[in-house]
């Protein structure tokens, strides 16, 4: 079966699942929230990463169905576990689609406790496709009580002025600026500029793809608020709140 059909079937059979990756405070390392990353459980039990099917799925028009399913999985998790905050990724198509917003609205009605613990991540490239439309989407999501993050910031044609127009809560520095940041004056300059701008706009900052203690220390010293990456934890199907005590994972 080709990959698109596999995903369609997996969606029907409940074999799309979430992996959870911690995002930690730069000062002290406590978990701030977990990013949810979708995985397909193949019929043979293998886990297929999102990178292997998300681009195909976008072509096939399946993205809305997946983004809605991921929303439901995340809300289930938030309902089952208190004290955990979760971030979900949505595609640019979804941000432009009113029906996802209506679904979010319906599910969060009277549940401000859940909304407060949900972060919606939208990629910079998607956000910049139609800035005014995205700004309205961001506003609507925030009015429901959720936070919004701009993902992969700097990967696209960044114009810092869009940060102001979009009124998000969090900006995630693209991994390409974090990788090798210690050896790249250009990357350092980008990070510093973004941080001073983020501070001016009162945005919280996340550095993605932090893989070493040295990178973590550098970014913390520069004033990044939150850190994410293999150095702190990989995406896990069994996050701490699911792992039964005494059971090896
Ligand atoms: O986890 P992985 O490295 O496979 O993710 C690859 C890409 O897929 C990333 O860019 C990520 O943002 C995207 N992605 C992962 N999970 C989801 C999801 O639930 N919804 C959407 N729309 N994209 C996702
Ligand atoms: O596009 P987005 O930022 O949502 O993609 C996040 C993806 O980056 C996840 O699929 C995750 O698997 C991957 N990722 C998370 N931390 C690291 C890291 O430290 N190094 C690398 N190479 N990839 C990472
Ligand atoms: Na993301
Ligand atoms: Mn990202």
Q: What is the DSSP string of 35-77?
A: EEEEEEE-TTSPEEEGGGTHHHHHHHT-HHHHHHHHHHHHHHH
- Ligand 2 atom 24, closest CA: 209
81-100 pLDDT, tens digit per residue, is: 999 999 999 998 888 889 99
In sequence order, the 6+-apart residues with CB closer than 8 A to the CB of 181 are 187, 188, 191, 215, 218, 219
Nearest to 17 by CA among 73, 88, 91, 65: 73
Nearest to 198 by CA among 228, 176, 219: 219
C-alpha distance from residue 93 to each of 64, 133, 137 (Å): 7, 12, 12
212-222 pLDDT, tens digit per residue, is: 999 999 999 99
Pocket test for ligand 1, best of 54, 60, 121, 155 (most atoms within 8 A of CB): 54
- The model's confidence at residue 10, banded by pLDDT at 50, 70 and 90, is very high
DSSP state of 224: -
Kindly tell me if the per-residue pLDDT of 196 is higher than 80: yes
pLDDT value for 61: 87
Pick the atom of ligand 1 nearest to 50's CA.
Answer: 4
CA distance 116 to 189: 33
Mean of pLDDT over the chain: 94
- The model's confidence at residue 1, banded by pLDDT at 50, 70 and 90, is confident
- Ligand 1 atom 19, closest CA: 38
Kindly tell me if the per-residue pLDDT of 247 is higher than 90: no
Alpha-helical runs (H) found in the chain: 3-12, 54-60, 63-80, 92-95, 98-108, 112-115, 124-129, 131-143, 161-166, 175-178, 185-200, 213-222
Q: What is the ipTM of this complex?
A: 0.97
Measured in whole angstroms, how far is the alpha carbon of residue 191 from the centre of its chain?
Answer: 19
- Report the pocket of ligand 2 as residue ranges, CB < 6 Å: 21, 37, 50, 89, 151-152, 208-211, 229-230, 235
Kindly tell me if the per-residue pLDDT of 111 is higher than 90: yes
Domains and CATH numbers, the chain: 3-228 (3.20.20.450)
Kindly tell me if the per-residue pLDDT of 249 is higher than 80: no
Whole-model pTM? 0.96
DSSP, collapsed to helix, strand or coil, labels residue 122 as strand
């Amino acid at each position: 079966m080709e990959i698109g059909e596999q995903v369609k079937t997996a969606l029907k059979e409940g074999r799309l699942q979430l992996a959870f990756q911690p995002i930690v405070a730069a000062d002290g390392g406590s978990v701030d929230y977990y990013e949810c990353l979708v995985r397909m459980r193949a019929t043979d039990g293998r886990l297929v990463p999102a990178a292997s099917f998300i681009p195909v799925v976008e072509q096939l028009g399946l993205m809305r169905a997946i983004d809605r399913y991921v929303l439901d999985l995340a809300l289930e998790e938030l309902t089952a576990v208190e004290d955990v905050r979760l971030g979900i990724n949505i595609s640019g198509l979804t941000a432009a689609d009113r029906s996802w917003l209506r679904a979010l609205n319906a599910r969060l009605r009277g549940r401000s406790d859940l909304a407060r613990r949900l972060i919606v991540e939208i990629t910079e490239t998607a956000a910049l496709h139609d800035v005014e439309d995205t700004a309205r989407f961001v506003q609507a999501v925030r009015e429901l009580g959720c936070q919004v993050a701009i993902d992969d910031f700097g990967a696209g044609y960044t114009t810092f002025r869009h940060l102001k127009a979009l009124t998000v809560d969090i900006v995630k520095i693209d991994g390409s600026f974090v990788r090798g940041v210690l050896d790249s004056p250009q990357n350092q300059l980008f990070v510093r500029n973004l941080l001073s701008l983020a501070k001016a706009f009162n945005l919280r900052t996340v550095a993605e793809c932090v893989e070493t203690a040295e990178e973590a220390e550098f970014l913390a010293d520069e004033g990044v608020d939150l850190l994410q990456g293999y150095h702190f934890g990989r995406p896990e199907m069994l996050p701490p709140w699911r792992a039964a005590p005494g059971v090896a994972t």
